[in-house]
Structure 1
């Protein structure tokens, strides 16, 4: 994690860094681990009996059971991504280029695949696995049962493999298509999260990162799961998407349980402050990367004014909000289940972001 570009340059949030926390604990205890990292939670946060979603992990996790997905030649009618999931591909000004420049339509789908794979790899490596490391090593400040800590190691393996197979498939696509990805080194969601953290009071910074991971691991879209069975998508792509979805089902269940442990250990005042941050975290994750799409359109030779018109038509506020509400339904239910939405101001904040 140390030295990673973007949000984590220079370990700006060392409160979640396992190495930093372990060194601090060693210094405070004369070399003995005097903390509670390996102790099951007690009281409100540890009252539940933990039923692991990873009971069959050694047999079913894709990192242990799936073969490497190899990109082969596409058959007639197959695409690199499901066109109905690529808004740009359906816009008339872009679709109209198919006759004049037949390769453009394929390039639009390829670039969307790159965006999806890059988003996946960087989310797993730069954000999720930082928090998962903290859970696994007991340095995150949340007491969980020992079995949950062990499961965090499994999630870490899963997420690292998701990053690997995303990077691997992207490399295969580049070789097969000679289409450049041309993506920002730092993903847009990381930039937005970084800005939010800069505005965040110091005492909430680490908690805000944890909440973002809970959000990212509990959002649900059926569309990508459906693409995993779409025979019109290149086999290596749909199989990669399906592999990811199978693992993420277990992760979703885990982080729903983790939220209950976390919430039970916060003071009422901190719960309220934390809950008020969740709606914006959801929108940071779900809102489209408009600058990237606009830049892509200009790259196809269209004037910048046309590019601005296209993104305005593709991503009207009402559609963006409706999408966020749709994919966040289960996440919102999880926060409601721990009482986060019992507060009137919190409910108003969720409603203001279009999530209720």
Structure 2
């Protein structure tokens, strides 16, 4: 990203490496836990597919130049790291989940709280160092990025429902009853308090077009 030589404190660089290690650890223990469940229950793990939000990101990035694409990845990661903590925080207390699952999520969420604080601090440091045009282009994509984290992967859901023997008509009814857009947006708003606050704090919504883009996606900002 030659256009941007971000000036950030060295401690943020050090902590970024620590977060990378956390991320690898989370990935490894999640795989190990899934394999343990498969071995214990005898239920085979269904084939994995690329998450919908990554497909959405790739589509959004098509019209960006190389520098903007790298910034888009940073913005997208900031959304992910500020969304996941409030989303995960409620599960360790949900006694409908078996204890090992709650303990695993609780361990993960403790780390994610540190990650949230880190990315809030990092975003503040880089915000003023991004030029207006790039900032404007990227911010107009943020509401779609934000929504994509909660948007159901309908292709994957349809595939799974077909495997379970549901007819096309039954699948349509399941999707319409389970995933109305207003409920999805309501879920996003409930889970994105820290993300929206960060955007407000840097003055993002002072730009009418950016604020309108969020409203068009259904977000009250």
| TM-score past 0.5 threshold | yes
1:325, 1:355 within 8 Å by CA — same for their partners in 2? Answer: yes
User: What is the alpha-carbon distance in structure 2 between the residues aligned to residue 286 and residue 206 of structure 1?
Assistant: 23
State whether structure 2 residue 122 is matched by structure 1 residue 241. no
1:213 is displaced (CA, Å) by: 0.2
1:283/1:232 Cα in 2 relative to 1: closer, same or farther (>3 Å)? closer
- The equivalent residue for 1:167 is 31
User: What is the alpha-carbon distance in structure 2 between the residues aligned to residue 223 and residue 188 of structure 1?
Assistant: 18
- The equivalent residue for 1:205 is 69
User: What is the alpha-carbon distance in structure 1 between the residues aligned to residue 127 and residue 183 of structure 2?
Assistant: 32
The secondary structure found in structure 2 opposite 1:296 is helix
User: What is the alpha-carbon distance in structure 2 between the residues aligned to residue 283 and residue 169 of structure 1?
Assistant: 28
- The equivalent residue for 2:171 is 307
- The equivalent residue for 1:348 is 212
Q: TM-score, normalised by structure 2?
A: 0.91
After TM superposition, the runs of 4+ consecutive aligned structure 1 residues lying more than 6 A away are none
State whether structure 2 residue 55 is matched by structure 1 residue 178. no
In angstroms, what is the RMSD of aligned CA positions?
Answer: 1.9
| Corresponding residue to 2:148 among 264, 284, 291 | 284
1:319 is displaced (CA, Å) by: 0.9
Higher relative contact order at CA 8 Å, sep ≥6: structure 1 or structure 2?
2
Q: TM-score, normalised by structure 1?
A: 0.58
1:279 is displaced (CA, Å) by: 0.8
1:271, 1:340 within 8 Å by CA — same for their partners in 2? Answer: no
| Corresponding residue to 2:138 among 258, 270, 274 | 274
Q: Deviations over 1:176-235 (max 9, x none)?
A: 122222243322222222122223344411111110000000115645322213344222
1:329 is displaced (CA, Å) by: 2.5
Runs of at least 5 residues in structure 2 that lack an aligned partner in the other structure: none
| Corresponding residue to 2:120 among 256, 264, 271 | 256
**Of the two, which has the highest radius of gyration?**
1
